[in-house]
């Protein structure tokens, strides 16, 4: 209760006293409805609930689809092509005739060799009869037999050269390239055809030496080929991992088989993008990378406890994958962690979660 004496100017005094009373009221906590004091307002925060996540690392590598096996047929003799019986796209079987080369000269040599063989055979037969009667010495007999053997090998030689005039496929497959036309003169070892086994398609990928160590033959691979549209994705499997890296690029070739490719309409030369799982980290606890702070050599996060107060929790962090960081220890599934700026917060501070991400 304020006392105001009658001999002073009371109007200014009342105004001053009212100002002091208002200032005092502003510095005191406002009583709550129950007669107690209301606590300081809670700090609004965004939090994330800790759950297992897949932080596996996947790399995407592109390359062209290739047949598993492609051979280049070359001419085994020189001459002029008299016939070319197949073209690109034709399916061929093993030992099927693809082209013929003019070998009339070789055929003439073969006829001469056969005649010489007939002559040497007759000579040897006569020497053999004489030898049985001891009319010729052993040296003459052996000489006749040697000449017979030489004549026989001459026949075999020219038969082989005549056979070289017929070009046949060495595998079942499809002609993917034809390099010749009828009437052309070709040299020995000149390329004639490329034949591919389209029943087995692969994509060969250059993988970093840092990533290839976690890959294994038989691992599943997801492959997308733009050319086949909605038939994607295609399943692949690692067939083999090459034993050495390329000298210039330091990349190691990983061959991925595409068992579904042919049925999906994939052809050699189509561009394929393969997703390789180079590091498996499935079902690991993780928090936003920005929620982890370091102080005095310790990593920690701010956890919202059951009383809606902040708790400083020391953790052991793992790898970072994009926006997430693996937690090796210190947190459990279901914990609520402040998602950002832990260094700006104080343990024990009362908070209000305005956005809880799961």
For residues 338 and 317, membership in a common domain is answered with: yes
Range of the structural domain that residue 142 is part of: 104-163
For residues 321 and 292, membership in a common domain is answered with: yes
Query: What percentage of the chain reaches a pLDDT higher than 90?
Result: 67
In a domain? residue 180: no
Residue where one domain finishes, among candidates 231, 262, 279: 279
In a domain? residue 92: no
In a domain? residue 28: no
- Coil, strand, or helix at residue 12? helix
| φ, ψ dihedrals at 191, nearest 5° | -70, 135
Residue 2 has pLDDT above 70, yes or no: no
For residues 258 and 210, membership in a common domain is answered with: yes
Q: How many domains does the chain have?
A: 3
pLDDT for res 141 = 86
Q: Average pLDDT of 315-324?
A: 91
| Higher per-residue confidence, 136 vs 73 | 73
For residues 273 and 300, membership in a common domain is answered with: no
Confidence label for 17 from pLDDT (cuts 50, 70 and 90): very low
pLDDT for res 40 = 62
| Higher per-residue confidence, 34 vs 248 | 248
Residue where one domain finishes, among candidates 279, 308, 342: 279
Q: Average pLDDT of 255-259?
A: 95
For residues 298 and 347, membership in a common domain is answered with: yes
Task: Give the domain CATH number at 204.
Answer: 2.40.30.170
For residues 350 and 289, membership in a common domain is answered with: yes
Q: Which of 183, 179, 265 is nearest to 226 (CA)?
A: 265
In a domain? residue 63: no
In a domain? residue 19: no
For residues 347 and 327, membership in a common domain is answered with: yes
Rg (CA), the chain: 45
In a domain? residue 21: no
For residues 304 and 347, membership in a common domain is answered with: yes
In a domain? residue 118: yes
In a domain? residue 181: no
For residues 272 and 326, membership in a common domain is answered with: no
For residues 250 and 308, membership in a common domain is answered with: no
Confidence label for 42 from pLDDT (cuts 50, 70 and 90): confident
Distance CA 241, CA 278 (A): 13
Residue where one domain finishes, among candidates 279, 306, 331: 279
Task: Give the domain CATH number at 116.
Answer: 1.10.287.470
Distances (CA, A) of 259 to 66, 267, 313: 13, 12, 50
pLDDT for res 39 = 53
For residues 331 and 349, membership in a common domain is answered with: yes
For residues 335 and 275, membership in a common domain is answered with: no
Distance CA 272, CA 218 (A): 19
Task: Give the domain CATH number at 333.
Answer: 2.40.420.20
Residue 146 has pLDDT above 50, yes or no: yes
Query: What percentage of the chain reaches a pLDDT higher than 70?
Result: 89
Residue 20 has pLDDT above 80, yes or no: no
Q: Which of 164, 186, 191 is nearest to 176 (CA)?
A: 191
Confidence label for 328 from pLDDT (cuts 50, 70 and 90): very high
- The 10s digit of each residue's pLDDT in 92-136 is 999 999 999 999 999 999 999 999 999 999 999 998 888 888 888
């Amino acid at each position: 209760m304020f006392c105001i004496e009658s001999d002073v100017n009371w109007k200014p005094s009342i105004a001053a006293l009212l100002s002091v009373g208002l200032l005092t009221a502003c510095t005191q906590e406002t009583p709550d409805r129950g007669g107690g004091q209301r606590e300081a307002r809670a700090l609004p925060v965004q939090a994330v609930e800790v759950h297992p996540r897949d932080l596996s690392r996947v790399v995407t590598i592109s390359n062209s689809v290739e047949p598993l096996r492609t051979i280049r047929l070359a001419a085994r003799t020189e001459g002029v092509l008299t016939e070319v019986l197949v073209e690109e796209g034709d399916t061929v079987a093993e030992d099927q005739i693809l082209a013929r080369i003019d070998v009339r000269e070789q055929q003439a040599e073969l006829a001469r060799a056969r005649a010489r063989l007939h002559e040497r055979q007759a000579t040897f037969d006569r020497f053999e009869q004489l030898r049985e009667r001891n009319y010729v010495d052993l040296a003459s007999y052996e000489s006749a037999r040697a000449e017979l053997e030489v004549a026989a090998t001459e026949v075999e030689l020219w038969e082989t050269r005549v056979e070289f005039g017929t070009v046949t496929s060495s595998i079942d497959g499809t002609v993917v390239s034809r390099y010749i036309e009828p009437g052309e003169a070709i040299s020995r070892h000149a390329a004639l055809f490329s034949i591919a086994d389209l029943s087995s398609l692969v994509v060969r990928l250059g993988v970093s030496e840092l990533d290839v160590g976690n890959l294994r033959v038989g691992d599943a691979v997801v492959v997308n080929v733009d050319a086949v549209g909605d038939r994607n994705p295609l399943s692949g499997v690692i067939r083999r991992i090459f034993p050495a890296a390329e000298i210039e690029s330091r990349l190691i070739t990983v061959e991925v088989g595409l068992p579904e490719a042919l049925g999906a309409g994939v052809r050699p030369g189509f561009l394929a993008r393969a997703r390789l799982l180079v590091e498996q980290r499935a079902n690991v606890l993780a928090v936003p990378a920005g929620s982890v702070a370091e102080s005095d050599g310790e990593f920690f996060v701010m956890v919202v406890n059951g009383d809606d107060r902040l708790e400083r929790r020391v953790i052991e962090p793992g790898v970072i994958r994009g926006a997430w960081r693996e937690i090796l220890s210190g947190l459990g599934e279901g914990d609520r962690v402040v998602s950002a700026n832990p260094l700006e917060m104080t343990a024990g501070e009362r908070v209000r979660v305005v956005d809880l991400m799961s």
